[in-house]
Structure 1
Amino acid sequence: MMSSRFENVRWKGWLVVLGGILIHITLGSRYTFGNLTSYITSYLRERTPSESIRYKDTTSIFLLLITCYGATVPLGGVLDERLGPRLVSIIGCWVASIGVFTTYFSIQDSFYSVLLTYGLIFGIGSGIAYIPALACAMKWMPEKKGLVNGLVTGGHGIAAVIWNPIETEYINPHNLSPNTSLKEEPTERYFAEASVLDRVPSCFLLLGISFAIIQFIGVLLLFDPSEPSEPCVEDEKHLTKSDGEPLQAGGEYKTFEIEGETSEGVEDDTEQEQGLVDEKWTGLDIPPLEVYTETAFWILWSTHLITVLGIVFIMALYKAYGQTMINDDYFLSLTGSVSAIFNGVGRIFWGCMADRYSYKLLL
């Protein structure tokens, strides 16, 4: 009986993981900016008053997106604690989708309007929605936090595998190459073909609607365990420490047994249930504001910043640079997709390693 209940919990946990993956596949579409930037910049140059815009200028759209995303991730975590994963996720997701959807209008207006919709709004929504799905999934399988983290954020990483070819096939179905360049910089090339430019605004409608539908399905799969400290206990039995002291909510102790049962009668089930408690957790629980006073936090934060800087630069300009030498839009889009495969698989691999080894060793 206990075993079947345990399996039921596991099944629900994997549904939550699937929901998180779906959400992150849409949020990770920001990694397709390098594929979109040649279309965005070309459209702004040819169809709006922003005719002097260059790739170095539109890169600031991605910079604003990443900045807003990073700044609002903590906000998503705080709201998740108060409002729950479903509500916070749907708010963040649909703010992000609105940012993408309204770029249909803003790109026909000006560069600064695109900064507002695709940079600011999309970035804020992505940041708010990032944490709730991830945290919710890890609550179901705390003993596999690394794997769960890797799977959910792996969706973030592989997003370009899905969206890059969709964007390129929709905007440039005939695989045309950029056909104009700057006099002062002949290798900096842009699209001027009407058949390509005409499809750029509506691509954002397609993406925005697709994101909203996928996000809604993902959010429906999110739900927290009703009681983190007793996820698969029959009836309403209390969990206690081996010395009889009640187990605190949130899994603050590594081992427990069921009150009123002998160790002989529940030995096997208890071992199974221990899988629902993070055995590596030290018991340290630091309030959010106090985290910023910890040296370890700033070491991790700085490490992440340094690592991401180079990646963001390449991510934003790989296609614009590739066009200086390669006249194959599909190939350049595929290059970004292949990179995304390693991004996604790498997250899963290192997540599994984190469950087995110290994060310091892996870093």
Structure 2
Amino acid sequence: MGILSVIGGVLIHFTYGHFYTIGNLITYITSYIKQKVDPDFNTGSAVWISAIALAVQGISMPLGGALLPKIGYRAVVIIGSAINSGSVLLTYITIQKGFAYVVLSYAVLLGFGFGFSYAVIFSVAASWFPARRGLIVGIIVGGFGLGALVFTPIQTAFINPNNVAINQTTGQSISVPKLLVTVSPLFLSHIVSLGPLFGGCLPDKCNTFRFR
């Protein structure tokens, strides 16, 4: 059961790892908004996506921990994973509306989602291995990094299979319309939708740390 907790934690953090692909995605997101939604959009505003997401993560982490004894770890993980996955799917719509809406879905909601259950996953898995807590946490965090490693080339293959370079004049945008057509549907294709499923299958905590 302990091994299953670790595997489940790695799988959930693997889906959360798509957040670290923002450095790859941001050029496509800003190019899409500037060329298809708002010609006056300042692409420099893109830095707010990661900044806000991480800030909201810091707020939601203690909230998830506080609710753990009341609603149970499985509910916390499923809620967090569902919000995280839903935020990516919602960005399919918000990217067609404007940057402010993208910030709401791909920064605020996404950051809240993975922050809400982020630390709880460590607590569940590490409770089975009290003498190896550091190792267990390291393995699960590795899943986060692995997600970015896997999702980044998939995104590029989906949007920009020929690896077309950014516009050398602006240094910030993709100027090939055919590529931008694929940006919005990308958010519907992410495997992060499996996050709640992984969360619901996690085994219970060990010994006296048994929450619902």
Q: Structure 1: state its 5+ residue gaps.
A: 1-11, 183-187, 230-248, 250-363
Map 1:276-355 → 2, pairs under 5 A: none
Given that residues 50 and 110 in structure 1 are in contact (C-alpha distance below 8 angstroms), is that contact kept between their aligned partners in structure 2?
Answer: no
Moved segments of 4+, more than 6 Å: none
Given that residues 85 and 195 in structure 2 are in contact (C-alpha distance below 8 angstroms), is that contact kept between their aligned partners in structure 1?
Answer: no
1:40 aligned partner? 29
Q: Which has the larger share of helix?
A: 2
C-alpha distance after superposition, 1:26-75 (max 9, x if no partner): 11221111011110111111011253321x21110111111111111111
Given that residues 5 and 202 in structure 2 are in contact (C-alpha distance below 8 angstroms), is that contact kept between their aligned partners in structure 1?
Answer: yes
Deviation, 1:157, is 2.1
Are 2:15 and 1:23 aligned? no
1:223 aligned partner? 204
**Residue 193 of structure 2, aligned match among 186, 190, 212:** 212
Give the letter for the 1:216 counterpart: L
Secondary structure at the aligned position of 1:222 is classed as coil
- Write the distance in 2 (CA, Å) between the matches of 1:46 and 1:99: 23
Are 2:67 and 1:79 aligned? yes
Query: CA distance change for structure 1 residues 215 and 155 in 2, over 3 Å: closer, same or farther?
Result: farther
- Write the distance in 2 (CA, Å) between the matches of 1:31 and 1:222: 27
What is the TM-score normalised by the length of structure 1? 0.55
Are 2:190 and 1:201 aligned? no
What is the TM-score normalised by the length of structure 2? 0.93
- Write the distance in 2 (CA, Å) between the matches of 1:116 and 1:52: 16
Given that residues 81 and 199 in structure 2 are in contact (C-alpha distance below 8 angstroms), is that contact kept between their aligned partners in structure 1?
Answer: no
2:175 aligned partner? 192
Secondary structure at the aligned position of 1:19 is classed as helix
C-alpha RMSD of matched pairs (Å): 1.6
Question: Whose relative contact order is higher, 1 or 2, with alpha carbons under 8 Å and at least 6 apart?
Answer: 2
Select the structure of larger CA radius of gyration.
Answer: 1
Given that residues 19 and 219 in structure 1 are in contact (C-alpha distance below 8 angstroms), is that contact kept between their aligned partners in structure 2?
Answer: no
Given that residues 26 and 159 in structure 1 are in contact (C-alpha distance below 8 angstroms), is that contact kept between their aligned partners in structure 2?
Answer: yes
- Write the distance in 1 (CA, Å) between the matches of 2:115 and 2:55: 9
The sequence identity of aligned pairs, in percent, is 34
- Write the distance in 1 (CA, Å) between the matches of 2:97 and 2:168: 22
Count of aligned residue pairs for this structure pair: 210
- Write the distance in 1 (CA, Å) between the matches of 2:22 and 2:37: 20
Deviation, 1:23, is 0.6
Deviation, 1:221, is 2.5
- Write the distance in 1 (CA, Å) between the matches of 2:188 and 2:96: 13
Give the letter for the 1:130 counterpart: Y
